[in-house]
């Protein structure tokens, strides 16, 4: 019988394989994000708890031109492209965010979520069915937590690691698309490097000037 | 004493050094499993999304394959602490926020305690701290706890970019002080991919890899505790 460590290792590697297998969708998502950006829309991100979004936003070396959707501000604009990450196929909160997005014109939605249908869905439509590009994180509503003899209940979820890797893969495609269009994205500098304040101030000027 | 570099010299040096610091086997040795679901042929040129995915995949695979002994050691430390009634704390975070999936979703083992915000005054002799921060490891050791360090890009590192930290920095280094130090395979440039026309590497990966290392240590500890007949409860 496999140990939990072995199960966890395999589950993580299977998660990365899921990313590779869906590369067509990831490329499509990156292209759509670039098209939206070049049409005047914004790159928005949301996941409940912000575990995925905050590790991408203002993160050293990452592109500057992304925004976290703050639920209390309800700040979607026409033309926005949202990457919505979730640990569930049927979180009602996620559906509400989608509705808030679609209340604006010409919006686009990329979802990162489990596509596996839960036994008793909590929502009329599963999240990924509402997306323009839907990417399966390969887990389930337990966020990839595992079962093992000797433990009652599931243990060690790993969906955050997969969701984060998925959004970064999309970001990579987005960045290359923007470069190909003559719009190389502005990057955040690294806080632990010398001259951080000066160089980040320069990056802030750049993003203000170009918008990307 | 070397002359203080200009910004241009620094960026050129950092970019060049960063390229060399990416570990062998990550960007140049793309292994593809020969299974039917995998693409039959890696496209040329390699799409950036695929390059990112394969790079991170390789990093995770390298950790699992090459750091078995270190993970075993960390597992032994945690197992011993739990069996002796001590506490295993962790401070693996996302972007300095309370985002760890182990606190937002069910499935954290009951013996693993988040320590946020960081407060070394709660530590007792024999406790264990798993952290990505060198100062946490140092404080843990001062309190008689054991330190399992996960070396991420923002920490001073002896093996990469030692000169990136302030020139007056003379330690401590996690590699020296922690009971176990596991490098997450990401370069000190944080970003892991080169892009044409961009001045430095882009797109971080340590957020995922640090979580995976914590998961491996935790999984191994759970296995040990089960084999010892000690109950493990997910919370």
ipTM, 2 dp: 0.96
Residues of B in contact with A172 (CB under 8 A): 48-49, 51-52, 193, 202-203
Report percent pLDDT > 70 for chain B.
Answer: 77
Confidence of residue B96 (pLDDT cuts 50, 70, 90): low
In the structure encoding, which two tokens stand for residue A82, read together? Answer: 């949202």
- CB-based contact A175:B202 (threshold 8 Å): yes
Q: At what angle do helices B48-66 and A159-180 cross, to 10 degrees?
A: 150
**Quick check: A144 pLDDT over 70?**
yes
Q: What pLDDT score does B110 carry?
A: 94
**Quick check: A40 pLDDT over 70?**
yes
Torsion, Cα A60 A62 A67 A68, to 10 degrees, reads -70
- Taking the C-alpha atoms of residue A126 and residue B28, their distance in angstroms, rounded to an integer, is 39
State whether residue A61 sits within 8 Å of chain B by CB: yes
Q: Give Cα separations from A91 to A4, A124, B59, B102 (angstroms).
A: 28, 11, 32, 18
Q: Which contiguous run of DSSP H or E holds residue B181?
A: strand B180-183
- CB-based contact A45:A68 (threshold 8 Å): yes
Q: Give Cα separations from B68 to B29, B64, B152, B190 (angstroms).
A: 21, 6, 18, 24
State whether residue B56 sits within 8 Å of chain A by CB: yes
State whether residue A125 sits within 8 Å of chain B by CB: no
**Over A128-189, what HEC string results?**
HHHCCEEEECCCCCCCCCECCCCCCCCECCCHHHHHHHHHHHHHHHHHHHHHHCCCCCCECC
The shortest CB-CB distance from A193 to any of B14, B211, B232 is to B14
- CB-based contact B7:A199 (threshold 8 Å): yes
- Tens of pLDDT, residue by residue over A150-179, are 999 999 999 999 999 999 999 999 999 999
Q: What pLDDT score does B100 carry?
A: 80
CB contact under 8 A, A145 and B216: no
- Taking the C-alpha atoms of residue A182 and residue B227, their distance in angstroms, rounded to an integer, is 59
**Quick check: B80 pLDDT over 50?**
yes
Mean pLDDT confidence for B217-231? 97
CA distance A196 to chain B (A): 11
Q: What pLDDT score does B19 carry?
A: 32
Q: Which has more pLDDT, B85 or B36?
A: B85
- Tens of pLDDT, residue by residue over B105-132, are 999 999 999 998 899 999 999 999 999 9
Integer distance in angstroms from the first to the last C-alpha of chain B? Answer: 55
**Quick check: B2 pLDDT over 60?**
no
**Quick check: B28 pLDDT over 90?**
no
What rounded mean pLDDT belongs to chain A? 95
- CB-based contact B224:B232 (threshold 8 Å): no
State whether residue A57 sits within 8 Å of chain B by CB: yes
Q: What pLDDT score does A50 carry?
A: 85
Q: What pLDDT score does B32 carry?
A: 32
Strand-pairing partners, residue A155, are: A146
**DSSP classification of residue A70:** P
Confidence of residue B164 (pLDDT cuts 50, 70, 90): low
In the structure encoding, which two tokens stand for residue B148, read together? Answer: 């399992």
Strand order in the sheet with B112-114: B112-114, B88-90, B128-131, B146-151, B180-183
**Quick check: A64 pLDDT over 50?**
yes
Give the angle subtended at the CA of B76 by the CAs of B71 and B77, to the nearest 5°: 100
Confidence of residue A185 (pLDDT cuts 50, 70, 90): very high
Mean pLDDT confidence for B203-215? 95
Integer distance in angstroms from the first to the last C-alpha of chain A? Answer: 51
**Quick check: B47 pLDDT over 80?**
yes
State whether residue A38 sits within 8 Å of chain B by CB: no
Torsion, Cα B222 B224 B229 B234, to 10 degrees, reads 0
CA distance A130 to chain B (A): 23
Q: What pLDDT score does B45 carry?
A: 83
Q: What pLDDT score does B12 carry?
A: 37
- Tens of pLDDT, residue by residue over A67-101, are 999 988 989 999 999 999 999 999 999 999 999 99
Mean pLDDT confidence for A130-146? 96
**Quick check: B42 pLDDT over 80?**
no
Q: Of the ranges B97-111, B153-167, B207-221, which one carries the lowest mean pLDDT score?
A: B153-167
Q: What pLDDT score does A84 carry?
A: 98
CB contact under 8 A, B218 and A191: no
The shortest CB-CB distance from A61 to any of B61, B189, B197 is to B189
- Taking the C-alpha atoms of residue B142 and residue B130, their distance in angstroms, rounded to an integer, is 15
Short-list A185, A165, A163, CA closest to A174: A185
Mean pLDDT confidence for A137-161? 95
Q: What pLDDT score does B5 carry?
A: 34
**Quick check: A135 pLDDT over 90?**
yes
Mean pLDDT confidence for B133-154? 96
**Quick check: B14 pLDDT over 60?**
no
CB contact under 8 A, B47 and A153: no
In the structure encoding, which two tokens stand for residue B170, read together? Answer: 């003379």
Report percent pLDDT > 70 for chain A.
Answer: 100
Q: What pLDDT score does B134 carry?
A: 94
- Taking the C-alpha atoms of residue B187 and residue B164, their distance in angstroms, rounded to an integer, is 12
């Amino acid at each position: 019988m496999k140990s939990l460590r072995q199960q966890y290792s395999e589950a993580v590697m299977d998660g990365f394989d899921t990313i590779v297998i869906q590369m067509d969708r990831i490329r499509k998502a990156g292209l759509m994000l670039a098209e939206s950006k070049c049409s005047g829309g914004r790159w928005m991100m949301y996941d409940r708890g912000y575990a995925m979004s905050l590790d991408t936003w203002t993160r050293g070396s990452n592109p500057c031109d992304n925004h976290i959707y703050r639920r209390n501000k309800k700040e979607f604009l026409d033309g926005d492209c949202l990457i919505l990450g979730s640990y569930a196929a049927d979180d009602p909160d996620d559906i509400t965010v989608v509705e808030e997005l679609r209340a604006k014109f010409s919006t686009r939605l990329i979802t990162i979520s489990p596509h596996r249908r839960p036994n008793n869905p909590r929502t009329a439509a599963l999240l990924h069915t509402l997306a323009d590009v839907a990417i399966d994180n390969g887990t389930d509503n337990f966020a990839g937590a595992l079962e093992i003899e000797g433990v009652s209940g599931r243990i060690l979820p790993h969906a955050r690691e997969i969701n984060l890797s998925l959004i970064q893969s999309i970001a990579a495609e987005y960045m290359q698309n923007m470069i190909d269009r003559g719009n190389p994205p502005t990057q955040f500098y690294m806080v632990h490097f010398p001259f951080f304040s000066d160089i980040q101030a320069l990056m802030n000027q750049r993003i203000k000037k170009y918008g990307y | 004493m070397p002359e203080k570099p200009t910004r241009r010299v620094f960026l050129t040096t950092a970019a060049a050094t960063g390229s060399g610091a990416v570990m062998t086997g990550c960007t140049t040795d793309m292994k593809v499993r020969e299974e039917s679901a995998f693409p039959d042929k890696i496209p040329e040129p390699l799409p950036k999304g695929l390059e990112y995915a394969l790079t991170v995949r390789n990093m995770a695979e390298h950790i699992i394959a090459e750091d078995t002994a270190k993970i075993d050691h960390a597992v032994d430390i945690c197992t011993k602490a739990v069996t002796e009634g001590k506490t295993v704390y962790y401070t693996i975070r996302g972007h300095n926020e309370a985002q760890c999936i182990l606190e937002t979703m069910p499935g954290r083992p009951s013996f693993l305690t988040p320590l946020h915000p960081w407060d070394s005054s709660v530590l007792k002799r024999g406790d264990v701290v798993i952290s990505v921060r060198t100062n946490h490891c140092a404080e843990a050791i001062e309190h008689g706890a054991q330190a399992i360090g996960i070396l991420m890009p923002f920490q001073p590192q002896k093996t990469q970019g030692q000169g990136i930290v302030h020139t007056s920095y003379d330690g401590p280094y996690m590699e020296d002080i922690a009971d176990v130090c596991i490098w997450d395979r990401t370069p000190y440039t944080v970003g892991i991919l080169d892009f044409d026309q961009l001045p430095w590497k882009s797109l971080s990966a340590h957020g995922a890899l640090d979580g995976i290392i914590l998961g491996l240590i935790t999984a191994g500890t759970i296995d040990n505790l089960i084999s010892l007949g000690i109950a493990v409860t997910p919370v």
